[in-house]
Structure 1
């Protein structure tokens, strides 16, 4: 082969090697640049989250010492997220520590959800989130400590419910209403709680109510009333018909839950599991029956006999029934609810409530029919979720 051909082939190989080297270098530089951009974006997102949270991060060691290493003696409750412990910080401040259980069905989404929403909410009728603790597998939320625990521990307890006279109960009803009004209308974010119930209302030393547990909350923007979800969350007995059946939630879903809660506070009875010797209606059905017969005062807890303001009790029952009406458009807004509770103006007539049910319990002694029914079977006037 001619020497010029050798030189030409060698030059071609060098040129190819140079092109490959440059291409590889460019590829590596591009990959490195992408990695740097991703790292920067992630870091910026974390910083933005911290700015959004505006919350201190507690070291795990601090929380461990405060709760005496999560001692059973310090445990004050447990929910879907996990156990709750009472703690005392070194400076003497009492705290409640909500610690995510490893077996909890509520994960990082619910944890982040609660931190984002409640960190931006400040109202005397909402529980205050002091900070959080994230270290390894540990995820905790640090709240102000509520010495009187939750509302359900009082109104459904045959001994402790005596401590809640009518003025205290009416004060609690009004406080919950103002807290919801803030969430729906006056807060930086328009929040739909989606899990309002007696166990999610905490009581401070002066028995002021504070709405808690925002793990299921959702925000809506502008004039948006609500949304639809495939995953229905909440508690049976408090969920509105449109939410339980179709997954449609809105501020009016919270209004329904509030109405149930009002009737529970007045009566001292749970909506779910309610029983009466004269019929098989649930609490909403019982309240509606008494209302139609102009006997609403009979719904009131017998513990209120010596402390009740009759006009306030009757007004609260009617407001509760207005809040649990079947159609969302028939329910008042929380702004209207607060006004109705605060003055003596004439209230509109309530319509039949949603989930107005009657249990069909078979009594063999009174019927010759061979049809059997268990005590768990329900005849539904509208619809009853399980």
Structure 2
């Protein structure tokens, strides 16, 4: 029996390594959105005061292992975006000229904006081609963008990821704007002309963490489940309407390509004690998406349980609400629900943001970092 278990483990490891090799060899664009490598470049600038930084010193200051998969991806993606120079074996990491221009507050804001747009879009060949094809137009449907991505040579297995990354990058650097009630891809000149002098396009955020899918459940039901932690409330209440809107408009459509069934607590129909069933879904589902809106105490309690098992998490929140300190270092998708005119035009890009984070969370080489895993790395939970 032990021999069979070992053989099965080796087979699974081989499959994982083969999948990672396939993804790395075929992807013609960075394996993350632009925001995370940009924050990494800001850390290089801050720690090194604009000069090169010893690689080991850099990751020590960031509280990360220099040899981890997450650290490796930070270096690789930052390099692919043209923000930094120096690979995993390099002694030092330094900013490129364009990278320095993109993050240095002493550089005029319009020049910083121009550098970000160049690094995130026009310097990445597939993104440049998509941008040139659709600039000046309303953001096309996701399926249309996928067809265009395949037409320019992106492998079909990576088309959805490429489109999601492209859309998120456009929005982050200001090339995707809401005009006349729809999201439109604008020209660089239009974006720069609309940038007020002396203001920043985006506020600095804490370094986001990376995540890895560690599917420990031996039950197929949980391996194909995303549990949606959300403020539910009574029928007809604002939290219930909000949760229903996010679930039906953003979360479920974003998860369709991953073949994950979304379960919310009020939809559990198995017999038994409901609290126990909720905890089981939290602890064993392949993915959890947590909506932090309304600062609901049940949501934070359930999120803490998920932190303990170190399994994939994606966080969303209304843009008007502040993410509490203990979880604000985890990347969170902010959704503007201030009115229908702000929300409706951005639905497609919100779906892309969720899909992009889900895709990364489920990749085999991603590490789930939470306050618990950082400060109690040896802690484990068994079922």
What band does the TM-score fall into relative to the shorter chain? under 0.3
Tell me the TM-score normalized by structure 2.
0.27
Higher relative contact order (CA 8 A, sep 6+): 2
Tell me the TM-score normalized by structure 1.
0.27
Bigger radius of gyration among the two:
1
Question: Hey, which of these two has a bigger chunk of helix by percent?
Answer: 2
